[in-house]
A = this chain, B = another copy of it.
Amino acid sequence: MGTAAVVGVGHTQFGQRSDMTLAELAWHAIKEALQDAGITQRDVDYVVTSNVGGWSSEPLPAILVNEYSGLGDVGVMRVEAACASGSAAIRAAYNAVASREAEIALAVGVEKMTESPTLQAVELLGRAGNFFWEFEQFGLTFPAYYALYATAYINQYGAKEEDLAAVAVKNHFYGSLNSLAHFQKKISIEDVMSSRYIAWPLKLYDCSPITDGAAAVVIASEDMARKLTDTPVWIRGIGVASDTSNLSRRQNFLGLASTVKAADEAYRKAGIDKTEAVRRLDLAEVHDCFTIAEILAYEDLGFVGRGEGYALAREGETYKGGLIPVNLDGGLKAKGHPIGATGVSMAVEAVKQLRQQNAKARQADIKNGYALTHNVGGTGHYAYVTIYSLNRPTQS
């Protein structure tokens, strides 16, 4: 594994952004990331664009963004791993730097989902599993996929719907402190419990919204990173894994096997013992597309044992000051989930937390200098776990 660091981050307001085109949104994030890194477009050697698309008529978003952003004739490709596309872009940009193909690479994630009619968006998301069998033949929508997991989990461990609701309440609380979040409104357990069912036991407030937004990170080689900044945030380990297209072929619905595999790989690369991870990490960004997904992540990432995740939510142990702060930016649930941008947005948050640049109320205490991001595509079809650190990796 080579050595590379994040040296610049940018992030747009998330929400319904009918005020900007896809290219404008991307440029807004790119400009901020370039400025943060103290570089210009000419310094970038390679661009990786994360965009799932399907909502727009423009089939070549990557080059559209490059032209609009004045990135000239630099090499660029688009990557897609469903809702984990943003993390796939970061890994591809990281690999380009670590293999010395680029000194400075830019990963940008952008999605404009609200320009598509809601029903079409729901259909496109529903296809993000196995279209032929599970969507078309059995009529599963995307919330219904995660509802299978929620049902199995509740049945196995005795969790209550209120425990899922606690995740939503926490993430809306932190969303209320994040000026870039889609929803900046605190909610109560009662609000969640009284919201309408989308796919039992998941209610409206258990679901992340349909959002527009963009985020960007600049990744540089060690030499370049040292020139550009005094606070490089090193990429210490990336784990990546996948799972079957068909949910009917999964072993069980009590966790995401792909998260477990990706986490094990990321911890190993970063030199972190999984059983120690919850104490080594100062914070985590996890993929809470639905509240149940955040609880499964607590267990899959090894923060607690099997069947113990819901108690973590119930007891408030993933607020700041608890066992491990999770989603201090509001998460997908309140910050919003513009699917191609989400993984990059997580990286931006991890970097800003490690640099201690957030408003105090949602700034984690940075003790060991480690942050983890966890990004899932589909229902665990793709999983990426990335560990960022203020501490440079030792040469292996």
Contacts and interface: CB of A to CB of B under 8 A. Distances in A.
- Majority SS at the chain A contact face: mixed
For the complex formed by this chain, how many copies does it contain in all?
2
Interface string A47-79: 000001010011110111011100101111111
Interface stretch (A126-134, A156-164, A201-209, A358-366): A126-134
Given A75-B241, A76-B382, A77-B80, A67 B258 contact: no
A128 B242 contact: no
Contact of A59 (B46, B79, B95, B131): B131
A122 interface: no
A241 B73 contact: yes
A92 interface: yes
Residue among A59, A62, A378 facing the most chain B CB atoms (10 A cut-off): A59
A100 B1 contact: yes
A244 interface: yes
B80 A80 contact: yes
B131 A242 contact: no
Contacts of A77: 79-81, 85, 88, 91-92, 240, 382
A81 B78 contact: yes
Given A78-B81, A92-B92, A95-B98, 16 more contacts: A2-B100, A46-B240, A57-B131, A58-B131, A60-B82, A60-B129, A60-B381, A62-B81, A63-B245, A71-B242, A73-B261, A75-B262, A77-B240, A91-B101, A94-B99, A98-B99
